[in-house]
Amino acid sequence: MIRIAALSLPLLMMASACAPGPDMAMSNGTERACFMSDRIINFRAGQSPSLYVKALGGDVFELQSTGYCRDMDSAVSLGFTPLTGSSERTCVGDPIDINVSVAGASSNRCRARVVRKLSEEEVAALPSRYRP
């Protein structure tokens, strides 16, 4: 009996090493929705603190700033920098740094978190002024 337990422990350890980590899967077993932060094609400021971004391919994500983010609704461009390492891939739950550029003013930086990927129905239900 002790031999069986001793042999099964390495197998359990190997199996757990192959399981998806917290950055690959959500608690319900599905993969987290992600986008490439350098492939954002449009954005719109929602009701504070929300920001909606449209990624290449058409997926829309909601980001929420973690503090006051000045001039988000009048920004002419936004730059996104993932805060999860060297990858340009940003997923639901990840923090991200946003560089807000406004015409005729200096840019400012904000921190945000990717809250969720919106379904097509949720995007259609957004007021047009918030829809990217």
Task: Identify the CA nearest to 96 among candidates 44, 47, 35.
Answer: 35
The domains of the chain are located at: 32-125
pLDDT tens digits, one per residue of 72-96: 888 999 999 999 876 788 999 999 9
Q: What does the alpha-carbon distance between residue 14 and residue 110 come to, in Å, rounded to a whole number?
A: 41
Q: What does the alpha-carbon distance between residue 75 and residue 70 come to, in Å, rounded to a whole number?
A: 9
Whole-structure pTM value: 0.75
In this structure, the chain runs to a length of 132
Backbone torsion region of residue 61, taken as left when φ is above 0, otherwise alpha when ψ lies between -120 and 50, otherwise beta? beta
Contacts by residues 97-103 (CB-CB < 8 Å, ≥ 24 positions apart) = 98/51, 98/63, 98/65, 98/69, 100/69, 100/70, 100/71, 100/72, 100/75, 101/75, 101/76, 101/77, 102/71, 102/74, 102/75, 102/76, 103/76
Task: Give residue 105's pLDDT.
Answer: 80
pLDDT tens digits, one per residue of 45-59: 998 899 999 999 999
